[in-house]
Structure formats: structure tokens, C-alpha cells
Amino acid sequence: MLFTAISFLYYFFPIVIVFYFIVPKKMQNVVLLIASMLFYFFGEPKYIFLMLTEILIVYMEGRLIAKYKKKSLLVIAIFIHIGLLCFFKYTDFMILNVNQLLNVNVSLLRIALPIGISFYTFQILGYVIDVYKGKVKPQKSFLKLATYVSLFPQLIAGPIVRYETIEKELDSRKHSFENFSYGVRRFTIGLAKKVLIANMLGELCNQFTGTDEKSILFYWIFAISYMLQIYFDFSSYSDMAIGLGRIFGFHFLENFNYPYISKSITEFWRRWHISLSSWFKDYVYIPLGGNRKGLKKQIRNILIVWVLTGIWHGASWNFVIWGLLFAIILIIEKIFLGKYLEKCPNFLKRLYVLFIVMISFVIFNAENMGEAWQNILGLWGANGESLINSYTLYYIRSYLVILMIAFIGATPLLRNTVLKLKKNEKINKLINILEPVWIIWLLLVVTAYLIDNSYNPFLYFRF
């Protein structure tokens, strides 16, 4: 089930809200767990038992690890959950590579990837590791642990919520009109970003992919559009997840902080997919030694983290190369480039970041490295296309407004403007009156668009 589905917006979610707020507080986790199971069942009916089995296993693992404090138990727990993730996500990838390497023809298993497995596996791993380290106490209630792992607002595509972040809120959380209104506002804004911006940019990218009438300018439009699409697609899901969580009394941490205004790649990864970056930092990079054991080991640790980050996103070599690209650039920045970047004008720093990120997402989007390389060459006219053609001009005219909206929306310009206006008492009162009208209008426009349009994917469901 998608957050952008009419069935979710006008049937599933309202029913859950009604039941959640009419039952006694001690039953609210039960409502959330049942709702989460139904939510997952509608999307992945055959894999709901896999998720339930993993929850049961991690419940027992947490209790045993806390009781015996043995590292061997933690290693077994990590092996089980990483093993299940690898089996479902990487088995066919490994078979393909063995076939090519040894020139054999082992049949692919063609295992369907369970939706959200990459996200809930990392939540499970974070929980057992934190229990072993003594950062959190093992959850004695199976119901509460199951609610944490399967919580439907963030189950499918994150953010990766740490157990310690909502540990207390699983036991007791406050509900208020302020939280509810914030949640509705945040969810609706995320919904609009997804449907009215990300989906339309996706349509433009599909037009590029599906045509033979390419031009150099169209390659650039495609690369920029995809870079914007993936930001609005994934950040909108995070907005919706944070909004839904707040409605139910949970405070999920932010996952995006305007990454396209970054002045270095290091800063970019502090602003992009923050929950994933911090997870790898805390559970892989720092345990490996981080930057505490000399430059050589720091370089090794960065390479390991970014190869894992790449392969986490998908079972394909282009994801590995995507991760390695960022690893190399981050290493270069740490060794010498960073001090030179500090002396550059801000606009040059930002152009540098945007160009690197744009190229990286061309690689990220491709089905294989051959396609990625062709699209990169196309940016420089190496594929033999003309600079511009009538087909390109048609799509520039058709999508110019949405591209301009996306450019502005990817910066904090609108947010900062509103915050400045709110400092004026009279204007603030006017904004408070108009804001609910604006949210209702957005919801109506989105609904009309969803009824009329069938293009509605979520890019990060691939991972």
C-alpha cells in the first residue's frame, strides 16, 4: 500500500485514526501493530510471515544478549538478519557474477525482494547492537518491539528509526492538537512534494529514457531532473513518515536537510538520508576505528562503509561504483581538497557539489554501467547527438514551470521567507489563518491528480 494511494488516504488511514483514538491508551500499540500488519499485507502478503519471524527472533535475541552479555550471541544475531537480507536481495546478483566469472549457466532463483527489508533489517540490527552495548534495555514486551519494527509510517522506506529514539514513546507518548496538526501539515506537504513535483519530474525522465530523439541539452535536463526527482521522492516519503509518526505521538528524527545547498560532499552526506549515514557511521565506521587509527585505516574504513552503502541500495555493480565514487571524493576532500574548498566562493563550492551529485545519480539511476556511461558521455556530446532539437524544446516548454518550482523547493528559500514573515505579529496571525486553507487546497489538488494520473512510483521501494 502506498501513502499516495486513494485507498490509504481516504479509507485505511482514517479508519486507523478513529480506532487509535477511541481505544484506551494501553490498547493503542495493539491498534498500530494490527494496522502495520495490514498495511504490509496489502503490499507483500507472502512476506509478512518473514517479517514476523524476524521480529520473534530479534525479541529472543535481545533478551538473551542482555542476560548473557556474550559477543557470540550478537555475532549470531547479526549473521541471521544480514543472512536473510543477503539471501533475498543478493542471491541472484551473486549467481550472475559466478556465471560470468566461471562461464557457467547456473539458473537464477528470481527471488522477489520483500519491500522494506533493507530498512527494517537495519532497525533490528541497531536494536540488538545497542542492547549488547548497554545503550538500551531489551524490550520485554513482544507487542512493543513488534510495533517498533513494523510501525507502518516508516516501515517501507524509512527513515531508519533508532530504537533509543522512540523507546520511551513505545511505553507512553503524549497526544495533543499541536502534534496532530503538525503531523497533518507535514504529511500533506510531503504528499504534495511527491505527487505534484517528484511524479512530474519522473514523467520527464521517462520521456527522455523512452525517446531516440535525444540531444546534448536533453541529457543535461534528464540528469538534473532525476537529481531533483530522487530528492523530492525520498524526502517527501520522509516528510510523510515524520508527519504520520507525529500524529500517533512519535518524534522521528529528520532525514533530509536541504542537501543541495551543501558546500562539500562531506556536508552533503550530513544532509542527505541522515538516518542511513548516521547508521553506517555509528555501527560500521566508528567500530572499525573511524579516524582514530591513522590515515591509512581511515581510508580503509571509508572505502568499506561506502561499498556497503552502495550495495545496500541495490544488487548491481552500478550501486557499488556509485558508493566507491563517493568514497574516493570523500577521501580526497579529507586529505587535501577540503582546505582548498574553504577558500573558494560559496557558489563555486555548491556547483562542485551539484555536479558531482548529478553525475553520481546518473550512475545510480542506470540499469547497468553501460547505460550510465552512455548518459554521462551524452552530457558532452560524445554520442553524436545535436546540441538541441525540437523534441527537447517541446519538453523544456512543457516542464519549465515544474523545474523552476523544484529548484526553489530544493532550497530553504521558501521556509526562511515564511519564518521571517512570521516574526511580524500581524502577518503571523494571517499565516495561521491561511495555513489550514492552504493544506486543504493542497490535499484537494493532490487527490484530483491521483484520480487522474496512474504514474505514482516510489523510487526507494527498489531498495
What is the secondary structure of 341-400 as a DSSP string?
HTTS-HHHHHHHHHHHHHHHHHHHHSSSHHHHHHHHHHTTTTT---S--HHHHHHHHHHH
For the question of residue 313 being annotated catalytic, the response is: yes
d(CA 36, CA 386): 51
Query: Other CB atoms closer than 10 Å to residue 21's CB: what's the count?
Result: 13
Question: Which residue reads 549488547 in cell numbers?
Answer: 132
d(CA 410, CA 271): 12
Catalytic member of 175, 251, 273, 313: 313
CA distances to 42, 48, 411 from 38, in Å: 6, 9, 37
Counted residue by residue, the chain has a size of 463
164-170's contacts with Cβ under 8 Å and 24+ in sequence apart are 164/130, 164/135, 164/136, 165/251, 165/252, 165/253, 166/250, 166/251, 166/252, 167/136, 167/139, 169/249, 169/250, 169/251, 170/29, 170/139, 170/144
- Reading the block at residue 223, the C-alpha cell is 540528469
Residue 300 and residue 226 in contact, taking contact as beta carbons nearer than 8 Å: no
- Reading the block at residue 121, the C-alpha cell is 533489517
d(CA 380, CA 375): 9
Coil, strand or helix at 461:
helix
Beta-carbon contacts of residue 252 (< 8 Å; ≥ 6 apart): 153, 154, 159, 161, 165, 166, 241, 242, 245, 246
Classify residue 75 as exposed, middle or buried by CB count within 10 Å of its CB (0-12, 13-18, 19+).
exposed
Residue 217 and residue 174 in contact, taking contact as beta carbons nearer than 8 Å: no
d(CA 350, CA 61): 46
Coil, strand or helix at 103:
coil
d(CA 427, CA 429): 5
First to last CA, the chain: 16
Residue 65 and residue 74 in contact, taking contact as beta carbons nearer than 8 Å: yes
Among residues 273, 240, 237, 259, the alpha carbon closest in space to that of 458 is found at 237
Residue 85 and residue 121 in contact, taking contact as beta carbons nearer than 8 Å: yes
| Residues forming the active site | 313
